[in-house]
Structure 1
Amino acid sequence: MNGENKLIVNTEQTNLLKEITSSLETCQKFYFSVAFVNFSGLQLLLDALKETKLRGVKGKVMTSTYLNFTDPKALDKLREFNNVDLKVFVTDRNVGFHTKAYIFEYEDYFKVMIGSSNITQSALKSNVEWNVEIISKNEETFIQQVISEFNGLWDRSTMVDDFFIQDYKRFFNNIDRVAASGSAIYEKAEYIVPNSMQNRAMENLQRLRGLGEKKALVIAATGTGKTYMSAFDVRNLKPKKLLFVVHREEILTKAKETYEKLLPNEDITFGMLTGTKKDFDADYVFATIQTLSRYYQNFDRGNFDYIIYDEAHHATADTYQHVIEYFEPDFMLGMTATPERGDSRSIFEIFDFNVALEVRLHDALEDDIVVPFHYFGITDIDEIDLSDVSVDDLDEITKRLKVNERVDFIIEKMRFYGHDGKVRKCLGFCASREHARYMAEEFNRRGIPSTYLTGEDSVKARELRISELEDEENELQVIFTVDIFNEGVDIPSVNTVLMLRPTNSPIVFIQQLGRGLRKYQDKSFLTVLDLIGNHTKTFLIAIALNGSRYYDKESLKVAISTGFAHLPGATHIQMDKISQERILAQIDQEKFTSMKYLKEEYFEFKKMNQGRVPDLLMDYYKYDGAPDPVRFIVKEKSYLNFVAKVEKDQQLNQLLANETFEKTLKWLSGMLPLKRIYDFIIINYLIENQSITFDQAKHEILKWVKKIDDDSTYHAMEFLNQNFFDDTQKNRTPKLAKLDGEQLSRTVAFEELLANPNYARYLIDLVDYGLFRYEREFGGDYYGVPHFKLYEQYQMMDAALLSNYRKSHSSYRGSGLLSNGNDYFLYIDLHKEADIKESINYNDKFIDRKHLQWETQNNTSQSSERGKNIIFNQDRGINLHLFVRKYKEIEKNNVEPYIYIGEGNTISYNGERPIEVQLELEHIIPPQLYTELTEKV
């Protein structure tokens, strides 16, 4: 028993849900008194409640009808637990019910949590909530008062029986939910501001226009605010003439209303071009493509400054192509939820491959533009053994998955976890067409109306089944499918997703998950049930859920052990213990940097690319969950070298036989992922132009970032002139540019490479990838000199480039402390070997999230200049930049990067040769990162 009282708030590190579930696992009795319970919160507690039932632990739950927020569905579910007594305090106009208390009884003490949280997903996980946990002995006055008050309210409350439930359901289903909750929102144009997704899109559009681009594509799910985003962009740009094109007339009126709302008093006329309206002379014309395709020649080619194509995935159709080819606007924007990459790549070509924004799952959750999901990883039944079968052997997998006991098990789990909303609307993702047919037949036999769809069904058949699933009055509950719903289909009403096949691709997993994340009326979350088997690629689930393209064994293991706590909002990920152990064991055994693993990752991605060799780095930029191609570069020094090797491609090998081309690829690839963008911006300009002056370089850099200093601009030009290369680097790196005063010009070698379209294609792709990836990870912020971003990964030598060091950069290696003037760079290994499992007390360690202990090199004395600079760093103007890593190596012969945690200042010290220094950090370490760096898994 911990006698300390504590404040419980929802953070990355912990939340009220964790506190309640851990208490339910250990208590002898429990008593809850909350103003309301809804199913979104109760679902997160179901497994913990089930454990109390198995342990024979009794509980009492008391809630209320206050403000009609308590969900009868949640009450129904609670009644399934025969170890829980359930009562409702019936409120009236004069008496409210506001209690939020969770009481846990142990042998000789009580744990009480009292505060602001009811049982909802947001209150338990993501809201700003304060709850105080108090430990109190049985005989203390406080706990006697709490129990007495609980019993008094319990006695005044009504037992939830069949009569009460039916009566409350009738009332609940008949009330106006918006009016009852008081959640109607008053909107006024000047108060409507862009969300973070819209801001990012507008910033990227502005950047692309600054680069002289005339086309761009924005990809984000329906309902995420693309129309508002485009209206905000138009409001900023102020084009004189605008054309907004849609596929369906019902969207047109809403779009026009949005623009009129956001652009009042702008002296703009708004018009329609439809079957019934022909407002040719309006400033801003909103047109259906069907009508526009008949009348577009009524306008001059340059009539519109800005043209927007909503539902741009239709732009490949002939009707669109005639219109697009006719008009010559200053800028053309496409917006789509479904770029249909699987069937056609031409939409990207139409918009010059300029993707201004593609909202990734993690971003969408953080921005609250999709619903949160509750993922339950459930160990598959023992009868299913996939340990000796390839994930590509669909016939054998199908044969082994067609087990009646498994169907019963799936239905049992669906009923236990339930779903949001009145009726279940479910997509089940299967291994094959035969598996989908089998599942539909077996569900129908068990009384759950189901069907199946595959790529063999016609578009009309698909549309019919989808409309049936969307219709709440239709009895259809489940569509089982394979492949066709991975992307390109939007069914907002879906509230349940079943993952019934082995996961062999993080991309497919995320696409399937995304089918249920669309916001929909009264839909507050998506339920995801994933049957986790014993096949050899189970760990790919963890990579998909982790939400990051960049991972190592340690970050994955910590994510699993913390329930992926870093995912934002009310999203909840829960795996049962067997699944967790199975995945952790696979991660331990897998060699993520081995050629075997990288080849498997590459060929799986190639399948996603419709079997086309993904020979460009930008191919990886288009998919959420795609592999990080820099991992392939690290293996073979350039991506093209890797592809040529695994594909045994003679054409690529012939290209790489050109020594200048191959060396240039390796040099530029070695800078990926970029840690500063200036060098690649200058190279990008030199691809199109013979030379660049200092002023031009600064101008080009300012198209990508908000600010740049003169010294960094000139340092980048010097770097490209190879000023800081040692002899070995000069011998292995072709010189692309020559610096003469303040002008950098292309060399003959660079001219010859660019003259060959094949060489130029791959060099341009490499530069594009470097620039786009930097922009996504670093944005347009100016980080100063040294150019470090908090919590980004760096190698030792990066500090030379990023601090404008003007001697050989290759000297920046092999030491725990490097310096450039008043900037000291401290590189700290927190653990010496990755395979040491027991806790060892190293001298370099975190004391807490704000303080770090570090030892100098063995020869540093307190009286030396370096010693004084470290001890009295603030007085002497010395900046101590701190870089830490958990292990030097996690996989053999692969050195891990360091993580920059900001500057620190010495607050105490002792000892000689080495000096032990206590440092106070200028930035408190984020909880998730602190856990990753300090915890053993």
Structure 2
Amino acid sequence: MSEDTKLVVNSEKGNLLKELASSIETCESFYFSVAFVNFSGLQLLLDPLRAAEKKGIKGKILTSTYLNFTDAKALERMKTFNNIDLKVFVTDKEVGFHTKAYIFEYQDSYKVIIGSSNITQSALKSNIEWNVEIISKRKASFIHGVLKEFDSLWDKSIVADEMFIKEYEEFIRSFEKVPRLGHMMYERPEYITPNRMQRRAMENLERLRSFGENKSLVIAATGTGKTYMSAFDVKNFKPQRLLFVVHREEILLKAKETFEKLLPNEGLSFGLLTGNYKQQDCDYVFATIQTISRCYREFDPWEFDYIVIDEAHHATANTYQGVLNYFHPKFTLGMTATPERSDHHNIFELFNNNVALEVRLHEALEDELVIPFHYFGITDIEEIDLSDLSLDNIDEITKRLKVNERTDFIIEKVGFYGHDGAKRKCLGFCASKNHADYMAVEFNKKGYKSVSLNGDDPVSKREEYIKRLEDQEDELEFIFTVDIFNEGVDIPSANMVLMLRPTNSPIIFIQQLGRGLRKYENKEFLTVLDFIGNHSKTFLIAVALNGSRYYDKESLKVAISTGFANIPGATHIQMDQISQDRILAQIDKENFNSMKYLKEEYFEFKKQNQGHIPYHLLDYLKYDGAPDPVKFIAKDKTYLRFIAKIEKDDQLKMLLMNENFEDTLKELSSMLPLKRIYEFVIAKYLLSHEEVTLETAHREVLKVVEDVELDSILHAFEYLNQDYYDSVQNKNKPKLVEHFDGKLRKTSMFSDLIDNEIYKDYIQDAIDYGIFRYEREFKDTYYGIPHFKLYEQYQMIDAALLSNYRKTHSAFRGSGLLVNGNDFFLFIDLHKEEDIKDSINYNDKFLDQNYFQWESPNSTAPSSERGQNIIHNKQRGINLHLFVRKYKEIEKNKTEPYIYIGKGNVIKYEGEKPIKTTIELENEVPTALYIEFTEKV
């Protein structure tokens, strides 16, 4: 056959959307025949269709009324393109319409994509779909048959004129008023099962309780099912009496309904305790904090077995403290979307530093706990020049953004991209109150009903406007705001977000984006329009969208060039070429490890921390998108030294004059971020105990991980005792513990330090931060020995600790091949320094996602014992662990970590000194990571 064929599926490598978009823009004409066209999918093709229109590329689109799944709104939008002829095949009971074919005509050939995908966001991006692409010569019989069939269907179809679309839309509306069995869910309480997030939380809560813990916190984005999770856990716990406390009454009613739905046959009574209801004698009492704080002494302190505190970030307030200190339940569960608190108290401490689960934005998207978003990064108009401004100069930024042409441009883009659903419900985030007022006035002049809201407005006004925005019959479409809605305000039906201010904080960007991601009836996606200016911090948009907890220039550049392929599900991120080029240029110029950059990052974070100096490392765990404080530690050995320097804080400098204190902080900080948790769990226990036995330490570790060997706990004892330090380390590092008779005991120096509450506070913060961050990144999973997590970052010396190496650990450096017993650690640089003439391993490379080519050190012969262990590793029981990095150094004076890609087995070899091997990897490298390793940007 003369045809070229390939299978097009939705994966990190690519998707049908990518294929269609590039084909639409490069063909001479196109013909689509698809059963359904939804606006969720059409929106993703608007830019390619507009580009085709500008080039004069004509198209015919044929869709159908089959099952009434095609949107009238999508038909209306397609009709606006001058280059598209649109017809609809009207189906009846006898005839269905299932075609999914995309035909592209070129000068010498045709490209035909036929398969399973309609034009919907899921079909184009995330569903399991099979589509076959065939490229064939113009005169081929296959093409002749396809075109003949298309023409036949086209002739039988109706032109989608205004009258047809109007009648179809009215029919759909009348049809929607009648419940359709296909859209109804057969739901009985015994069939409602926990989702993945809820199961993880419940398992962790159960494990914490099994070790005697009586409090815990769950952190998960709004709309991810925390109330259901608490009801599932209560169902398992079976308390005789429950108290559920919330901040707002409307949440209380929904919570009570959820519990009643999940616990219908338990013989329980459910009651409300609010300003209007006094049903405190019921088994399960749902109370507002305003009411329970006034009457809690009417209850016995041991009245409730289980207490739930919803919106737990409020729990540091005095009203909550009175209630929490009075009652003595068997278990207290706190739930929050954001653990930050404006009064600067530590919410973690309230729940004994137990976090059963934390779900941030990317995890919520992956688990489909929130709706997908379609992000369009749009280059702002030329008249807006912010290149010479500090982003702190809000007055001047406001002045420059208040341009009529910009308002017209924003309105044009709002109209072009459209929105999900019948009514637009939009939040516009502005640079200042003045800017928000201006936008509301200008939009109203243009006929778009808008209001401005800010923190000075009374709560009653906010509630009124939110209610109006959500009302389908109300004309209000836009709320422009500056300092509210970042977090804590829930507008589930919001279907559009406008980013109208320069982004200078990933935290704020993520919070604002999150306002529209709540699941809501019939809501499919959120439209996000970001108007990207030429200011100096444009690249922070990429930092926020990338969602990785660690990033460097290379990973950000690859993310931009691949359209953020690592974003899960049907979420779509698209930046126009000017914005992409601008951001890439900034990333090239920026040094993410320079003191200048770190100071800017720190002070921006301080601003988000309500202007308080973030004295504690734990402050950085409160916000999705916060900077990594370990980068600050790297500059000055301890976080406090970094703060003392840039804040010119004399009190901190005085504290750090105690050498034992600073050396202890340096010792603990040098282990961050943790790659195993055992040492810090033991250290935490010793903060409140004089000594710890091996058995007690084992039990403490099992509170946070699902399994661990006693030998690994013993190795942690030995490591803390500095058994594996070299002579220089032993001389310069403080001794915190002593190991004898199978126990660890605090040294007198360490005991004296933590007897001082101020010193103890900072030492405990470093330990708690290490534990919390470990739990966030590694979960409770058992990784075995060696303790490696796939695709995690490691330095060479980490392999010694994580494989229970019982010799001096500092020996693990320098060589690309390190050994501990039957574990061989291969540390590989894909790109070597060009100026090292005698460098080895120039042929180390990925052959594909399953195979790697690696050359042994120059001195290794196949006949040697080590050579035999390498080339026959599987037969000899030798584990080859591969650690790979793209470059040794991306930024000056910053050595890059390696990524662990798992174990592999040699299947082929040749040559000697060095031996060239082909290694089959036990785990296929994920596409996003493979692209990052191999893509040249």
Tell me the TM-score normalised to structure 2 length.
0.96
8 Å contact 1:59–1:85 — kept in the other structure?
yes
Mapping 1:385-404, distance limit 5 Å: 385-404=385-404
Unpaired runs of 5+ residues, structure 2, are: none
8 Å contact 1:823–1:880 — kept in the other structure?
yes
Q: Distance in 2 between matches of 1:718 and 1:835?
A: 41
- Determine helix, strand or coil for the equivalent of 1:97: coil
- Determine helix, strand or coil for the equivalent of 1:11: coil
8 Å contact 1:793–1:897 — kept in the other structure?
yes
Q: Deviations over 1:707-765 (max 9, x none)?
A: 11121111111111111010111112111111112111111111011111111101101
Which sits farther off after the overlay, 427-436 or 371-380?
427-436
Aligned position for 1:285? 285
Which sits farther off after the overlay, 42-51 or 644-653?
644-653
8 Å contact 2:824–2:881 — kept in the other structure?
yes
Which sits farther off after the overlay, 385-394 or 280-289?
280-289
AA aligned to 1:798 is: D
Aligned position for 2:784? 784
AA aligned to 2:832 is: K
Q: Distance in 1 between matches of 2:569 and 2:632?
A: 33
AA aligned to 2:171 is: F
Q: Distance in 2 between matches of 1:210 and 1:797?
A: 35
2:50 is equivalent to residue 46 of structure 1: no
Q: Distance in 2 between matches of 1:79 and 1:407?
A: 26
Aligned position for 1:562? 562
Q: Distance in 2 between matches of 1:312 and 1:795?
A: 38
Which sits farther off after the overlay, 529-538 or 271-280?
271-280
- Determine helix, strand or coil for the equivalent of 1:531: strand
AA aligned to 2:906 is: T
Aligned position for 1:925? 925
Give 1:435 shift. Answer: 1.3
AA aligned to 1:378 is: I
Alpha-carbon distance change, 75 to 701 in structure 1, aligned in 2, over 3 angstroms: same
Alpha-carbon distance change, 418 to 5 in structure 1, aligned in 2, over 3 angstroms: same
AA aligned to 2:58 is: K
Give 1:690 shift. Answer: 0.5
2:630 is equivalent to residue 630 of structure 1: yes
- Determine helix, strand or coil for the equivalent of 1:688: coil
Q: Distance in 2 between matches of 1:246 and 1:2?
A: 68
Q: Distance in 2 between matches of 1:207 and 1:616?
A: 28
Q: Distance in 2 between matches of 1:102 and 1:835?
A: 51
AA aligned to 2:934 is: T
Q: Deviations over 1:184-208 (max 9, x none)?
A: 1112333322112212333443455
Aligned position for 2:77? 77
Alpha-carbon distance change, 816 to 5 in structure 1, aligned in 2, over 3 angstroms: same
8 Å contact 1:178–1:184 — kept in the other structure?
no
Q: Distance in 2 between matches of 1:592 and 1:920?
A: 35
Alpha-carbon distance change, 338 to 646 in structure 1, aligned in 2, over 3 angstroms: closer
Aligned position for 2:155? 155
Q: Distance in 2 between matches of 1:276 and 1:570?
A: 44
2:725 is equivalent to residue 725 of structure 1: yes
- Determine helix, strand or coil for the equivalent of 2:826: strand
Q: Distance in 2 between matches of 1:33 and 1:440?
A: 42
Aligned position for 1:859? 859
Q: Deviations over 1:272-311 (max 9, x none)?
A: 5567766555433334556545654443110111111334
Aligned position for 1:643? 643
Aligned position for 1:302? 302
Aligned position for 1:476? 476
8 Å contact 1:384–1:533 — kept in the other structure?
yes
8 Å contact 1:67–1:180 — kept in the other structure?
no
Alpha-carbon distance change, 804 to 358 in structure 1, aligned in 2, over 3 angstroms: closer
Aligned position for 1:617? 617
Aligned position for 1:816? 816
2:572 is equivalent to residue 572 of structure 1: yes
- Determine helix, strand or coil for the equivalent of 2:831: coil
Mapping 1:524-673, distance limit 5 Å: 524-673=524-673
Aligned position for 1:467? 467
Unpaired runs of 5+ residues, structure 1, are: none
Q: Distance in 2 between matches of 1:558 and 1:834?
A: 22
Alpha-carbon distance change, 312 to 853 in structure 1, aligned in 2, over 3 angstroms: closer
Which sits farther off after the overlay, 426-435 or 294-303?
294-303
Aligned position for 2:432? 432
Alpha-carbon distance change, 352 to 715 in structure 1, aligned in 2, over 3 angstroms: closer
8 Å contact 1:373–1:527 — kept in the other structure?
yes
8 Å contact 1:112–1:134 — kept in the other structure?
yes
Aligned position for 1:4? 4
- Determine helix, strand or coil for the equivalent of 1:182: helix
Which sits farther off after the overlay, 478-487 or 35-44?
478-487
8 Å contact 1:452–1:480 — kept in the other structure?
yes
- Determine helix, strand or coil for the equivalent of 1:868: helix
- Determine helix, strand or coil for the equivalent of 1:543: helix
2:56 is equivalent to residue 60 of structure 1: no
Q: Distance in 2 between matches of 1:393 and 1:834?
A: 44
8 Å contact 2:340–2:623 — kept in the other structure?
no
- Determine helix, strand or coil for the equivalent of 2:91: coil
Q: Deviations over 1:574-610 (max 9, x none)?
A: 0000100000000000000101000000000001111
8 Å contact 2:358–2:776 — kept in the other structure?
no
2:184 is equivalent to residue 184 of structure 1: yes
Mapping 1:341-380, distance limit 5 Å: 341-342=341-342, 345=345, 351=351, 354-380=354-380
Give 1:671 shift. Answer: 0.9
Q: Deviations over 1:868-909 (max 9, x none)?
A: 111111111111110100000000111100000111111111
Aligned position for 1:228? 228
Alpha-carbon distance change, 647 to 279 in structure 1, aligned in 2, over 3 angstroms: closer
Q: Deviations over 1:129-184 (max 9, x none)?
A: 11111122212221111111111111110001111011111111221278447121
2:245 is equivalent to residue 245 of structure 1: yes
Q: Distance in 1 between matches of 2:85 and 2:189?
A: 50
Alpha-carbon distance change, 606 to 421 in structure 1, aligned in 2, over 3 angstroms: same
- Determine helix, strand or coil for the equivalent of 1:462: helix
Give 1:337 shift. Answer: 4.3
Aligned position for 2:869? 869
Aligned position for 1:767? 767
AA aligned to 1:138 is: R
Aligned position for 1:119? 119
AA aligned to 1:480 is: F
Q: Distance in 2 between matches of 1:893 and 1:323?
A: 53
Aligned position for 2:13? 13
Alpha-carbon distance change, 834 to 554 in structure 1, aligned in 2, over 3 angstroms: farther
Q: Distance in 2 between matches of 1:188 and 1:107?
A: 59
8 Å contact 1:241–1:303 — kept in the other structure?
yes
Alpha-carbon distance change, 494 to 584 in structure 1, aligned in 2, over 3 angstroms: same
Aligned position for 1:449? 449
8 Å contact 1:338–1:489 — kept in the other structure?
no
Mapping 1:800-811, distance limit 5 Å: 800-811=800-811
Q: Distance in 1 between matches of 2:538 and 2:590?
A: 11
Q: Distance in 1 between matches of 2:57 and 2:224?
A: 44
Aligned position for 1:202? 202
Q: Distance in 2 between matches of 1:919 and 1:706?
A: 32
Q: Distance in 1 between matches of 2:668 and 2:348?
A: 26
Q: Deviations over 1:60-101 (max 9, x none)?
A: 100011111111111111001110100000111121111111
AA aligned to 1:885 is: R
Aligned position for 2:410? 410
Alpha-carbon distance change, 149 to 446 in structure 1, aligned in 2, over 3 angstroms: same
Alpha-carbon distance change, 651 to 253 in structure 1, aligned in 2, over 3 angstroms: closer
Aligned position for 2:502? 502
AA aligned to 1:623 is: Y
8 Å contact 2:4–2:136 — kept in the other structure?
no
2:492 is equivalent to residue 492 of structure 1: yes
Alpha-carbon distance change, 180 to 69 in structure 1, aligned in 2, over 3 angstroms: farther
Q: Distance in 2 between matches of 1:349 and 1:111?
A: 62
Q: Deviations over 1:367-419 (max 9, x none)?
A: 21211110000011111111111111111111111111111111111111011
- Determine helix, strand or coil for the equivalent of 1:870: helix
Q: Number of residues paired by the alignment?
A: 934
